[in-house]
């Protein structure tokens, strides 16, 4: 009698459950606001809504938006549903007929209280100085957040409390004020998500990062490179000080968790035409951060070239600069640089913002989010190395 063969052991893969949405509350609430604007807050066909928004209803970005909006409790209906609808809480958080205090309370309940790791961090940190992102990530062990998601969870929490107006500069440092305090101040507040302090219009010169032109150690490994497109200017110029500061204190801290090294045009020590090296970085770097400050024409030219590659790109600018019409519908991080006393306490928040956009861009690699990909989805620049 032949011996029976035992069935091979099957490896069962369990899907890891996220404990927080993949978008910030500010990003997710746009879906609820669109239902208010285009459907007067009533149930609406999913395809009709995204036609109004000029957005592909089947795209990865759309699916993520619908999913995150549902996770926050703003809307009901999945990305496969025929209709999308505001929840009672989502309606209260976005309706113009809701009082400012009720709207703020509803947003807090959805953006923080309903998400267990965010509620945990808020309870631990309210009324306190915001600790380093690494310390906050360590706290999340108690909340059961997976190690590889702690950084993202921390960044999303920071941006959520910032959007709610709970992250404020007090006594020279950023602190999370209790929701009760924010609600008491509502009658004097002009908007739910404004900060309590308005920096005076001054140029910053307090912190200067070391400029390192001709850095022969710049890596040519494009898979590990974040190319920073920025106005550079002459030594000691405002443009140079801005580029140095951003590179040292915002861009590099934001990209290092992804194994990337920031590279700037004036740091290339490789012999040859500088123009060719720049183009090579634009076409091949894993990530590009384009700084639209000062409306520099070279930056816009290089950004356009990057757009044609459909590769991950993040846009930043000084808050004082306006975005040109062609780009004003795309996410650009605004950084207040006019007052060094207001800027320095907010650095951690700006790093979190950039890090969040970088994480999203790298996750959606090759999808693109720019005028080229919008109007010509099949267009993509290709080249051959000689």
**Regarding predicted confidence, which is higher, 213 or 78?**
78
Provide the number of structural domains found in the chain.
3
Q: Average pLDDT of 286-311?
A: 94
| Rounded Cα gap, residues 357 and 353, in angstroms | 6
What's the rounded Cα separation, in Å, for the pair 161 and 179? 10
- Among 42, 73, 97, which residue terminates a domain? 97
Rounded to 10°, the helix 150-163/25-39 angle is: 50
Terminus-to-terminus CA distance in the chain, angstroms? Answer: 67
Whether 212 maps to a domain, the answer reads: no
Q: Are residues 24 and 162 in the same domain?
A: no
pLDDT of 14 above 70: no
- 192/28: higher pLDDT: 28
Cβ atoms 21, 115 nearer than 8 A = yes
Structural domain boundaries enclosing 257: 222-375
Answer with the one of 97, 116, 134 that is the final residue of a domain. 97
Lowest mean pLDDT among 184-193, 297-306, 364-373: 184-193
Q: Mean pLDDT score of the chain, rounded to an integer?
A: 85
Q: What is the pTM of this model?
A: 0.77
- Angular region, 236: left φ>0, alpha ψ -120 to 50, beta rest: left
Q: 10 Å Cβ neighbour count for 155?
A: 27
Residue with tokens 């807090």: 108
Q: Would you list the DSSP string of 314-334?
A: EEEEETTSPPPGGGTTS-EEE
Same domain, 366 and 226: yes
Which pLDDT band, with edges at 50, 70 and 90, does 386 fall under? low
Q: Please, are residues 75 and 87 in contact by the beta-carbon 8 Å criterion? A: yes
Q: Are residues 323 and 249 in the same domain?
A: yes
Residue 366 has what pLDDT?
62
All residues at 6 or more sequence positions from 221 whose CB lies less than 8 Å from its CB, including other chains: none
Could you report the per-residue pLDDT of 80-127, keeping only the tens digit for each? 999 999 999 999 999 999 999 999 999 999 999 999 999 999 999 999
Residue 112 lies in a domain: yes
Domain CATH for 349: 3.40.50.2300
- Are 361 and 238 within one domain? yes
Domain identity same for 92 and 105: no
Q: What is the pLDDT of residue 191?
A: 43
Residue 385, in any domain of the structure: no
Nearest to 200 by CA among 106, 16, 337, 373: 337
Cβ neighbourhood burial of 58 (10 Å; 0-12, 13-18, 19+) = exposed
pLDDT band at 364 (very low <50, low <70, confident <90, very high): confident
Rounded CA separation 133/377 (Å): 37
């Amino acid at each position: 009698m032949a011996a029976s063969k035992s069935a091979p052991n099957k490896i069962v893969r369990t899907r890891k459950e996220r404990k927080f949405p993949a978008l910030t509350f500010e990003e997710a609430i746009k879906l609820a606001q669109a239902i208010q604007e285009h459907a007067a807050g009533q149930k609406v066909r999913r395809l009709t809504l995204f036609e109004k928004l000029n957005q592909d209803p089947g795209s990865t970005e759309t699916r993520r938006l619908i999913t995150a909006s549902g996770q926050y409790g703003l809307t009901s209906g999945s990305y496969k549903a025929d209709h999308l609808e505001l929840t009672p809480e989502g309606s209260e958080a976005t309706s113009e007929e809701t009082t400012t205090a009720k709207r703020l309370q509803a947003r807090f309940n959805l953006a923080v209280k309903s998400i267990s790791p965010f509620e945990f961090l808020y309870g631990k940190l309210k009324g306190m100085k915001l600790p380093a992102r690494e310390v906050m990530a360590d706290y999340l062990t108690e909340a059961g957040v997976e190690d590889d998601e702690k950084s993202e969870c921390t960044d999303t929490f920071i941006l959520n409390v910032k959007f709610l107006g709970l992250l404020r500069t007090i006594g020279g440092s950023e602190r999370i004020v209790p929701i009760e305090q924010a609600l008491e101040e509502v009658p004097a507040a002009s908007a739910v998500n404004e900060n309590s302090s308005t920096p005076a219009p001054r140029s910053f010169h307090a912190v200067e990062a070391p400029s390192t032109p001709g850095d022969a150690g710049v890596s040519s490994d494009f898979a590990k490179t974040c190319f920073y497109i920025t106005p550079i200017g002459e030594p000691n110029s405002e443009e140079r000080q801005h580029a140095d500061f951003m590179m040292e204190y915002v861009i590099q801290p934001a990209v290092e968790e992804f194994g990337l090294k920031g590279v700037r045009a004036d740091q290339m020590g490789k012999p040859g035409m500088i123009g060719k090296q720049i183009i090579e970085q634009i076409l091949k770097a894993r990530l590009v951060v384009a700084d639209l400050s000062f409306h520099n024409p070279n930056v816009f030219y290089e950004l356009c070239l990057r757009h044609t590659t459909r590769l991950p790109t993040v846009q930043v600018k000084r808050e004082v600069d306006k975005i040109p019409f062609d780009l004003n519908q795309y996410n650009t991080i605004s950084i207040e640089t006019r007052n060094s006393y207001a800027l320095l306490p907010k650095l951690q928040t700006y790093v979190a913002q950039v890090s969040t956009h970088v994480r999203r861009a790298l996750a959606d690699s090759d999808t693109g989010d720019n005028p080229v990909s919008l109007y010509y989805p099949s267009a993509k620049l290709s080249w051959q190395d000689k």
